[in-house]
Structure 1
């Protein structure tokens, strides 16, 4: 049994490392083959005034004059030692640049994730208890409409109404100037981005929870509980939600890439200084070192969450368990 467990863990680790390696290889080659001049990122407008000899010396100093495969070998060797290079645009170590923005993305993405699944659980169970009623139909229709609205369009609409016309909330930034440690300032800047994130994502998961709850409600043990005189709300909270919780947790793990991608888009619309805007800037200005580590961080998060979701499904789905037993032996 221990040997089978170690084989299972070893396979997951090998697949994870291989996926990250392939991702780094693809991003490295695509970034360097893309049209554009990385010296513009490093020197700005001065790059256009540089002579051919000066550009050649600069490319040699930055290691950009060598073949791509040699550049990747040097980068990979340094990365294994924890050295990811200098950001061409910010003239700082890429880890330091990312650390300054990561907190903002964690605020937006983390709070969005919690609110989406909290509201999805409440809304889905509420609709399941009122199946086919007018209220259930109205919520389903409104939820379907909200999930079909492009997030960037919804964000622009909220900015126009609540920032430009009414002036209730700021339209950009993560906090007011000089108030990075002010909780009130951060909350005021988060309200509109969070609203877009929650409204555009919540119904997708709420509808899934609603359907899962309805499947449980139609089970024989629920009919028996009703026959014993238990209230419908008590049955829902004590039995139905408890039984769908493994599926719910699995969905939370798998949804992280979906919500993370939405967070990056919202950051761009609201000029929110997080990893999403930083990724766009690094690609725009050919900031190779910064782009590499941002893509790897995003890839690690996505692959880790997908692997976690797969492991959860394997633990809760008897059919997958049987498949794993036959694969690794009894």
Structure 2
């Protein structure tokens, strides 16, 4: 019964934390976007704004709900969001959700595959380097990885397009698929190769080097000496002891890195003209499309917060120390309340 109560309290606490974080994020973005210089009417009416009279401008602002004080605008917006209405896109003149819906899948595909490939390869490289510390293989990988990490993403993307799209004509240089082939999986994969390559080359070694050092630090701990005296091989020690003990750290880093991967995805979308919410975010900020920008920021924020919560939950399952600490904290709270 106590365990069930503790689980319910934990879930409620996470939900409350998520809601509070999203509300705070929405307030910050809402106020800053509206206080930033620029005329949102230009996005909606285009060049016609220049020929409008003062009365017409006031009427236009009233029609779009831009004449109220910012706190009133926010109150109306937050009220509408509970009914699934995130406002109208000023540039596209349709509901913001309708603009985002067709593109969010493309970003999730590119970002999700990049995320999995980067961390799978990072852990693999880290293990290989830790098993061959200070060897020729380890030194070459360290130098090549460091050089690749410091290559500018935009420049790397241009080079890949020049080589594989223009000169060799092997791969498409832009888009998520060819016209009329949105359901062709092979065609989508071909369009993913270059953006995925840029994402992996830009992020891989940063995490591989971090995991390598964590493994080596763990390998130098005192309990490893005992394992060595028992005759355990280095491979067995790395996999059975070191990797298992740093697993919570790896998961935490993977959760924190969500923002890093998401930002990299947005850059890759801009370089390869890949239709996703990253390119749309830049466009919405450029044209002062408040409602669209706010929705995109909230989607990104929700993704980051949820990934952090999932990582924390996984760590609580695989790390007995966190379970024990949680149980002790809960017992103290129970005694205090009673």
Q: Give your verdict on TM over 0.5.
A: yes
Paired with 2:329 and 2:244, the residues of 1 have a C-alpha distance of 30
Where 1:157 maps in the other structure, the secondary structure is helix
Q: Which among 275, 300, 316 is matched to residue 277 of structure 2?
A: 275
Paired with 1:167 and 1:50, the residues of 2 have a C-alpha distance of 50
Q: Which among 14, 23, 40 is matched to residue 12 of structure 1?
A: 14
Alignment of 1:1-330 (within 5 A): 1-2=2-3, 5-219=7-221, 222=224, 231-312=233-314, 316=319, 318=321, 322=325, 325-326=328-329, 329=332
Where 2:257 maps in the other structure, the secondary structure is helix
Kindly state the Cα deviation for residue 120 of structure 1 after the two structures are TM-superposed: 0.7
* Residues matched between the structures, number: 330
* Gap regions ≥5 residues in structure 1: none
Kindly state the Cα deviation for residue 263 of structure 1 after the two structures are TM-superposed: 0.7
**Deviating more after overlay: 62-71 vs 85-94:** 85-94
Kindly state the Cα deviation for residue 312 of structure 1 after the two structures are TM-superposed: 4.8
Paired with 1:254 and 1:72, the residues of 2 have a C-alpha distance of 29
The two structures have a TM-score, normalised by structure 1, of 0.89
Would the aligned equivalents of 1:119 and 1:202 in 2 still touch at CA under 8 Å?
Answer: yes
Would the aligned equivalents of 1:159 and 1:171 in 2 still touch at CA under 8 Å?
Answer: yes
Output the aligned Cα RMSD.
Answer: 2.6
The two structures have a TM-score, normalised by structure 2, of 0.87
Deviations 1:137-160 (A, max 9, x none): 110111112122222222222223
**Deviating more after overlay: 318-327 vs 271-280:** 318-327
Paired with 1:319 and 1:8, the residues of 2 have a C-alpha distance of 13
Deviations 1:107-148 (A, max 9, x none): 110110010011111111011111110110110111112122
Would the aligned equivalents of 1:257 and 1:305 in 2 still touch at CA under 8 Å?
Answer: no
Where 1:302 maps in the other structure, the secondary structure is helix
**Deviating more after overlay: 169-178 vs 110-119:** 169-178
Would the aligned equivalents of 1:16 and 1:303 in 2 still touch at CA under 8 Å?
Answer: yes
Would the aligned equivalents of 1:250 and 1:312 in 2 still touch at CA under 8 Å?
Answer: no
Where 1:329 maps in the other structure, the secondary structure is helix
